[in-house]
Amino acid sequence: MVRFYYLIVSVIFLFANLGCVEEAVPDRTILFGIDGLHVEGPQRIGLPNLLKLKERGCYYKAVYVPLAAHPKDPNSYPHTCSVGNPVMMTGTVFIRPGDKMIQHSFGDKKTAFVLNSKSYLSISKGFDIYYVVEQDPPSDDVPVVEKAKEIIEKENPAFMRVHLQGSGRGGYDGSTDKNKDKSWYRNIWHPDSLYVRRMKKADRLLGEFVQWLESTGRLEKTVMIITSDNGQADIGGHPPYAAGSSTVAMLIFGPGIQKGRTFDYAEIIDIVPTIAHIHKISPPENCKGRVLLESIVGSGKDAIPPDRYMERLNNALLEQHKLSRTVQELAVTIETIAEWHKRFDDMKSLVEYCEKISADMKAVEAPVK
């Protein structure tokens, strides 16, 4: 009998080490957004809580997001926020009116969205709880975090998006002429800039929030994804064609996530399928991203696919914008982004099309003699 017991224990141990024992679904995943999180921000500013949390999970040095556009046609782009947000919540750049988002995939499990800006109303559909801390302009993130704690205690949502708008707003305000007499005008990296001050505040709130989850016994059953919907230009804000606007940093940690790993590349469309994989639910039907298997314990994956479609797409669009100064007709514009779904159904064909347009524009600008 004793031998049989040890045999069973040995088999369980073996399967666990082979990654064959299924990981338990976490109680919750929290998508924690720090608005305007520049890809260099954590190291360059020095965000101690975010940097310390890297030890607990997987850090992505560059996550590529769509150009921070606001298409103007409400029929083709029925959203009140920049393109990065519906892409983040659907897992695709092929934005179609009526698309389901990740919150719809949780069925009868509760979901919540807490923030301090009204701009995100259109992506709130499907959340059981949607709470906007009324601020004009949205600059104080403290009540957002406090409200998030309250909702977790009372409602225990399986998925929650918490978005701190103060840092991104700080960058934007620092670029406006009302602050042109300040030493940090149009320079987010100045140590006294609104952007730096509010980033440090957001980092402090992140640390306090994680500590609260830990002190209440919730952290060990919580997956957290810390990132942003848009980056930040060096002058502040996120103009669509500015360097820094379309890359962000990201950290994911929690049960079932590898610890102390750093990766160079991910795409914003990968967040949704990864959340779905973690919770063993189906992603939205139109989702095109990949599961970040290299971050999952026991997945057996360690290599990132080499296609890097989002990076190539952004580079092609940025190149076209630069060339449009000499080549008058711009074939791909901000307005057409919202209509990609009418012409394409996969990233490969879209990227190759945009790269061909860039090559054609280069040929027009500098014809072969």
Structure confidence by residue, pLDDT tens digits, 193-246? 999 999 999 999 999 999 999 999 999 999 999 999 999 999 999 998 898 999
Q: Are strands 247-253 and 222-227 parallel, antiparallel or unpaired?
A: antiparallel
Instruction: Give the integer Cα–Cα distance in Å for 367 and 140.
Output: 53
Distance from the first to the final alpha carbon of the chain = 87
Tens digits of per-residue pLDDT, 273-318? 999 999 999 999 999 999 999 999 999 998 889 999 999 999 999 9
* Torsion angle, alpha carbons of 314, 81, 144, 176, to 10: 80
In this prediction, residue 14 has a pLDDT band, given cuts at 50, 70 and 90, of: very low
**DSSP assignment letter at 38:** B
The answer to whether residues 38 and 210 touch, using CB atoms and an 8 Å cutoff, is no
pLDDT (0 to 100) of residue 330: 57
Q: Tokens at residue 73, please?
A: 């046609």
Dump the DSSP string for 294-344.
GGBTT-------TT-HHHHHHHHHHHHHHHTTTSS--SS-HHHHTTGGGT-
Question: What domains, with CATH codes, occur in the chain?
Answer: 28-295 (3.40.720.10), 309-365 (no CATH)
